Amino acid sequence: MRRTPRTLGLELRNVDQGPTDDGVEHLVLHTDEGDVPCRMHPAEGSTSAVVWVGGAGGGLDGPAGGMYPRLAGRLVGAGIASLRLHYRRPNDFVPCVRDTLLGVAYLGQRDYTRCALVGHSFGGAVVIEAGVSDRHVEAVAALSSQTLGTGRAGELSPRPLLLMHGTADEILPDACSREIFSRASEPKEILLYPGCRHGLDECRDEVDRDLLAWLEQVLALKS
């Protein structure tokens, strides 16, 4: 595979594709600074995709009992692809932003030119910063987000920002998302879930419903 341009100094050198399970491709993006494990849910003929990133520990599955593979599978039916991405260096903010941007660039090589980003906890800040840094990103959703690293949230506009947070978050209080919301510019939306904790397990069905609807809206096919 041909190389991508450098993404904040990170260069994609090669892509290894492992097995494909139920239509999900096991990928490793090899860069000049280490490997980025991914799972790709392709949507044939589409130009729209979502990049999903985890919290401080990284991972491929996300909160709420595996939200990322669960929703990625459902989005394929709506003509939206997904790339679930594990950081090279979890909990190291700038490298995690670079990994996320590399995922966007890789999707562009596969003709997915319209991307939304979704991140949880630490990853909420990662996707906000990545969205500000790359104008190919069309929308950003931050779930149970921290505030550290979100100082440029106001620069995301005119791309939409969705903030989702449980009011019983025991790790990062919902005041974090409310504070980000106060600094963000339109279009922006905040959804608070009473009694829901940091991992969003208690409000799984509601978060699934709301996030799916929002992603389908912001990545709706254009005529």
One digit per residue, the tens of pLDDT, for the chain of length 223 reads 333 444 567 999 999 999 999 999 999 999 999 999 999 999 999 999 999 999 999 999 999 999 999 999 999 999 999 999 999 999 999 999 999 999 999 999 999 999 999 999 999 999 999 999 998 899 999 999 999 999 999 999 999 999 999 999 999 999 999 999 999 999 999 999 999 999 999 999 999 999 999 999 999 865 3
Q: Which of 179, 175, 131 is nearest to 157 (CA)?
A: 131
CA separation for the pair 33, 36 (Å, rounded): 10
Contact 192, 167 (CB under 8 A): yes
**What count of other Cβ atoms lies within 10 Å of the Cβ of residue 21?**
9
Structure confidence by residue, pLDDT tens digits, 111-155: 999 999 999 999 999 999 999 999 889 999 999 999 999 999 999
CA separation for the pair 121, 198 (Å, rounded): 8
Contact 145, 113 (CB under 8 A): no
The predicted pLDDT at position 221 comes to: 61
Contact 55, 123 (CB under 8 A): yes
Length of the chain: 223
Give me 164's structure tokens.
Answer: 């989702």
